[in-house]
Every structure is written in C-alpha cells, then in structure tokens.
Amino acid sequence: MAPTRILIVEDEEAIVDLVRSYLIQEGFQVDVARDGPTSLAKARAFRPDLVVLDIMLPGLDGIEVLRQLRQESSVYVVLLTARAEETDKIVGLAVGADDYVTKPFSPRELVARIKAILRRSRGGEEPSLPLVFRSLRIDPARREVRKDEQRVDLTTREFDLLHALAAYPGRVLTREQIIERVWGPDYFGDDRVVDAHIKDLRRKLGDDASRPRFIQTVRGVGYKFGDEPA
Ligand code: CA
C-alpha cells in the first residue's frame, strides 16, 4: 500500500520540524508549504491524503486556504489554531475542517488525531463495533438501531446519518461534513436535506427537538450527538 501523504502548512519552522519528524517516524510521506498560495499549489501537485493547516499564514490565511481547498477536493484537514482564536475553530469546522488542535499542542496528540481521522475514513477495514449511548444501541455491522431493546426502523440514509453523528459524540458536524459523509462528496443540492432527515430521525428516536437527548442542534453550524445543552 502506498504511504499516506500529509501536507504540513505552517510558517513556524520549529513547528514544521517537530511535526514533520514525528509524521515521518510514523511512516507518512510528508511535504511542507510555508505560506497560503504555496499550500494550494502543493495540494494540487502532491495530492495529500490529509493536510495539517495552520490558520495564521503569510499570503493567505488558513481559513481562506481551506475554503479554496474545499472547492476542489475533499482532502482531510486538521487545523492548527491558537488558543485565543476560539472563533477560528467554529469557522474552520463550518468551512469543512475535519478536526483541529490548539497550540501549543503535543505532536503525539496531533498524530493521534490524524490516525483517528484516517482510521474512520477507512472504516471498512476494521470491525465496526456497536455504539451504545444510554438506551440507544447502533450496530453498524447489522445496520440496526435499538432503543430500549426495541428495533427502530430507519431508512439507509437515516441510519448513515445517525451513525455519522454518533461516531463523534460531543463534536459538532457541519451540514457540509454530514452531506459529504452520508450523501457522498458528489452530492449537489440543498443542505437543508440534512435538516429534513434529522427531523425524521428525531421523530423515530422519540427525541424532542426542544429538549433533545440524542441529536443537538448547534445554531448556525450543524449538529452534534450527545445530551449536553447546545
Ligand atoms: Ca503560523
């Protein structure tokens, strides 16, 4: 199997060195870009499987790079954000980042996040274990959902949607991310299709939209699985 390619986009040389050496040690093939415009050119030429993208970059900031990347590919993106820039995370996830780490971060943590994303994306390669959340049990191998031991009858899309959200408990997924995972990267259409399916799912799970136990609405961003107040 060809090595997984990772593009590091960062202008701080110390971070580049650290991250690069960790990733190489883990067997990844690594390329580096040190400003926004170069990163877009390298993304096209190097065709990475995943991009580690700093937000503060010369030339073009990371959010803008991400926005442009998303117009041409569905490459996985992990953002590097500064602790102070809370809004960057929200915007970054809204624009289509798959995850983020906050500076200062340990390279070990970054590598763990990267591996988690790659593992999820290759979901077929390992046994998908049932996800259990309180009275709800989601079994991907059988494509079966049970609530209080009773089988819940879901359509294929509804099952995939529920599974996509439940696989990341507590994490917000944007409508775009949900569409990409459930409908596929080639889907063209209104992202309100997500809202309509969420509504059906909630009804079938007996979840009340005003006090949901399973699927939370995160206004202006998307949805998340879990029962903390949004
Ligand atoms: Ca930077």
pLDDT tens digits for range 109-119: 899 889 888 87
Distance CA 167, CA 153 (A): 19
Q: Tell how far the Cα of 222 is from the centroid of ligand 1, in angstroms.
A: 28
pLDDT for residue 217: 92
| 138: CATH | 1.10.10.10
pLDDT given for residue 127 in this prediction = 43
Q: Which among 110, 134, 142, 117 is positioned nearest to 23, based on CA atoms?
A: 110
Q: Indicate whether 83 and 140 sit together in one domain.
A: no
Domain assignment present for 230: no
Using CA atoms, how far apart are residues 174 and 164, in angstroms rounded to an integer? 11
Judge if 10 and 117 occupy the same domain. Answer: yes
Q: Give residue 125's pLDDT band: very low, low, confident or very high (50, 70, 90).
A: very low
Q: How far is the CA of 9 from the centre of ligand 1 (A)?
A: 8
Q: How far is the CA of 12 from the centre of ligand 1 (A)?
A: 6
Range of the domain at 68: 5-121
CATH code, 104: 3.40.50.2300
- Residue 8 gets the label, from left (phi > 0), alpha (psi -120 to 50) or beta, of beta
The residue from 80, 102, 121 where one domain ends is: 121
DSSP structure class, residue 127: -
Distance from the alpha carbon of residue 40 to the mean position of ligand 1, in angstroms = 16
Number of domains in the chain: 2
Same domain, 63 and 11: yes
Q: Which pLDDT does position 128 carry in this prediction? A: 64
Query: How far apart are the CA of 189 and the centre of ligand 1, in A?
Result: 35
pLDDT score, position 42: 96
**Of the ranges 36-40, 158-162, 212-216, the best mean pLDDT one:** 36-40
- For residues 126 and 112, the model is more confident at 112
State in Å: Cα 80 to ligand 1 middle: 9
What is the mean pLDDT of the segment spanning 201-219? 90
Peptide bond into 104 cis (omega under 30): yes
Distance from the alpha carbon of residue 102 to the mean position of ligand 1, in angstroms: 12
Domain match, 116 and 137 both: no
pLDDT in tens, 127-173: 467 888 888 999 887 788 999 989 998 888 888 899 999 988 888 89
149 within domain boundaries: yes
